[in-house]
Structure 1
Amino acid sequence: MTTLVTDSREIAMPTGVLRVDVAPGPFALDALLGFGARANARRGFLFVSKVLGKHWPSRPAAMRALHAALAAQLPADLPGPLVFVGLAETAVGLGQGVFDAHLAGDGAQEALFLHTTRYRMDGVPLIEFTEAHSHAPRQFLHLPVDATLRELFLRARTLVLVDDEASTGNTFRNLAAACRALNPALAHVHVVTLANFMGSGAAAELGRDIGLPVTLGAALQGSYAFEAGDAPPQAPPAQIVGAAGSLPVGGAFGRTGLAHRLTVPSSIVAALASSVQPGESVLVLGTGEFMHAPFVLACALEDRGIDVAVQSTTRSPILQWGAIGSRLAFADNYGEGVANYLYNVRPGQYAHVFICHETPLDNSQQDGLHALAAQLGARLIHFRSEHHVE
């Protein structure tokens, strides 16, 4: 079957030439994606999403609309319970947003959310798998610590895997196989992506390889080809698993499971909103994998009529070119000793910047957050738990 193409692009970048063909759909290419270049021998390009709140400052309302649209694409007859898994780092917020939208639209069906992580949690059973083209290829999925949530995971019938972009589908194959080994009751896999570049036969191919029926949902579908040119010097590793002195990470925000929509204390929303004068702009900035709680905060501020964007720092090294107009580098606040970055945000661009973080500040590893806050004139907001925010 020939795919109807409504938009074709050829993008010459420092690392090669990218050709993209996009099929008709509810979202225009330029509304969802820009293009970036990476110092990565495996993959010298990057699709820079404008609606994920990661490498580009995004409007909460546009993100909510995307989450609702992708949740609405879930087949109505999926066998429950459902387990949603958002893939780190970029799709943690997308996965949790689609999960929240599903609960808001279909609260009758049991559902669990987990997100994968680049960090090990001490004493918590985990699944390890790989994302081959990533700068940080090793991923972990920790099992729920809470007995009720773990029981829900082990009797789930549908696995909903959420990532920002799909090309080969290998990450989905690896993770689905690992989950099936733990839960043989799984009967269906639904894959959610912002952009699906796997081709028209992808569902059938994934289904054969995974051994279960597979359905797909995406905001944009198409194909691409990349002709690599002279690569710039390879970027340093973006993952050092088990680095000495690494900080413990918690499961309160999705690493060990959530069965409800995440909230932010109304007192925090009110206090931050009261500091913003009419007409002032605000950036709510998450850190690394800590994306969804900042998004929820940004939504609450937007609902009060505040001009707000939401974004997150990242460990992904991207060249300053194309959709990446600026780049700030600073020390990692998770204790791995790798560089972290903030893209498309310049000092003084926003009247207020609220940096939201899950890692403690009473540790020498946190100097990176203090340095970033100093550059941006930002306030640091520590989320100790869903209900305890400082």
Structure 2
Amino acid sequence: MNAKADTGALSRRSVDLPTGTLELTLTHGADEADALLGFAARANAKRGFLFLSKVLGKHWPVTPSNMIAIHERLAATVPNVDGPVIFIAMAETAIGLGQGVFEAWLRAHPGHSALFIHTTRYRVGGGELIEFEEAHSHAPRQFLHLPSDPALRELLLGAGTLVLVDDEASTGNTFLNLTQACRRLNPGIRRVHLATITNFMGQSATDGLSARFGLPVTMGALVGGEYRFTPGDYVAPATPAQRFDANADRGASTRFGRLGLSSALRAPERLAARLAGEFAPGASVLVLGTGEFMHAATLLGAALERQGVNVRVQSTTRSPILTWGAVDYALRFPDNYGEGVANFIYNVAPGQYDHVLVCHETALNPALRELAGQLDARLFHFLLDDHVEEVPVR
């Protein structure tokens, strides 16, 4: 990776990727930018670069305590407000981040009403489904389910504050599309807060968010600045990343955030204590979430860390990324939701960890068996947050 830095008043960087040249100007957070993110090249004709977060637990392994500390920092950026607050996390990359920010905010505001819900690329149940677009994504169609529980639906339709959580902001278009969809449901939304690890919209665009959205918008980000990307000659392969079928049962659960939650998930403490007793002292452990199923895996990792285990958490993804820069290893396998699209794990090589624990919401299927075989992993099926069944794979 060829990255050149200008050490003037503003931090400027130029990164030569296989897909083009990325130029950055960092206006705040430059002192911790390298600890928070790296750069990767996407095999995506719409966007050839990726701000790869090192604290998200998606493409890079991270200790649970470090990830939870990021959740708390972003939760602290949410302004103090009256009335219920809606937290929406963006699929698939930021689902775990958003749920963690929601739970950190609840810890800091005991007794305050809030709703967490995450967008998804799967239908669950037979309720109303709202569609919006993430135009630059490899899989652009996103959906938001209306909660089926009357109390949760009342929170969604009655809250005045909307908090949207994603790992990065670059144009603001997806946030605007989702906000408009939410305001059609709930015209009483009075303010929006955007919580992101990085904000590369630039100061002018950030200052103009309220005028653009048509209501007060605030932004909380750990690193900020702006970017320019000049595409090169790379031609991305035309491989499908989304095959949505409204009538297909993908095995996605209704219990972990797609239909809304008003309280935190519980960590599987007894499972963690049992597993910690099985591991040799100092053994390295990876807890691996699958696709949109991320936060429950993080909570298992956190419980293991409290037991003294040397643990990292991460997740699989449908996003195709080149092996370059912040990605030094890529493993491909079939998706366990049965869409028939490729899924990937980055920066995890077979044999790298002494133990790999794959956490999944779908029932056992050949894709999960293949994944377990490639990583010599154990499979853990989460029926509830603290009701987990190990699935024999040997």
Matched with 2:4 is none
**CA offsets, 1:181-218, max 9 Å, x none?**
11111111000111001122334422223221000001
Alpha-carbon separation, structure 2, partners of 1:235 and 1:205? 36
What residue identity is the alignment partner of 1:383? F
Structure 1 170/386 Cα, relative in aligned 2: closer, same or farther at 3 Å? same
Matched with 2:3 is none
| DSSP-derived class of the 2:28 partner | coil
What residue identity is the alignment partner of 2:384? S
- State which of 175, 196, 199 in structure 2 corresponds to 1:196: 199
Aligned residue runs from structure 1 range 1-390, under 5 A: 6-25=10-29, 28-76=32-80, 78-242=81-245, 246-361=249-364, 366-390=365-389
| DSSP-derived class of the 2:203 partner | coil
Alpha-carbon separation, structure 1, partners of 2:236 and 2:106? 45
What residue identity is the alignment partner of 1:170? N
In the TM superposition, residue 264 of structure 1 has moved relative to its aligned partner by: 2.6
In the TM superposition, residue 248 of structure 1 has moved relative to its aligned partner by: 3.5
Alpha-carbon separation, structure 2, partners of 1:240 and 1:265? 33
Gaps of 5+ in 2: 1-7, 390-394
In the TM superposition, residue 180 of structure 1 has moved relative to its aligned partner by: 0.5
| Equivalences, count | 382
Alpha-carbon separation, structure 2, partners of 1:210 and 1:24? 24
What residue identity is the alignment partner of 2:143? F
Alpha-carbon separation, structure 2, partners of 1:28 and 1:150? 39
Structure 1 7/326 Cα, relative in aligned 2: closer, same or farther at 3 Å? same
In the TM superposition, residue 97 of structure 1 has moved relative to its aligned partner by: 0.7
In the TM superposition, residue 143 of structure 1 has moved relative to its aligned partner by: 1.1
Q: What RMSD, in angstroms, separates the aligned Cα atoms of the two structures?
A: 1.5
Alpha-carbon separation, structure 2, partners of 1:369 and 1:291? 15
Alpha-carbon separation, structure 1, partners of 2:114 and 2:287? 28
In the TM superposition, residue 243 of structure 1 has moved relative to its aligned partner by: 8.0
**CA offsets, 1:49-107, max 9 Å, x none?**
1000000111111111111111111112x232100000001000110010011011111
| DSSP-derived class of the 1:383 partner | strand
**CA offsets, 1:158-187, max 9 Å, x none?**
000001111110101100011001111111
TM-score normalised over the length of structure 2: 0.94
% of aligned pairs identical?
A: 58
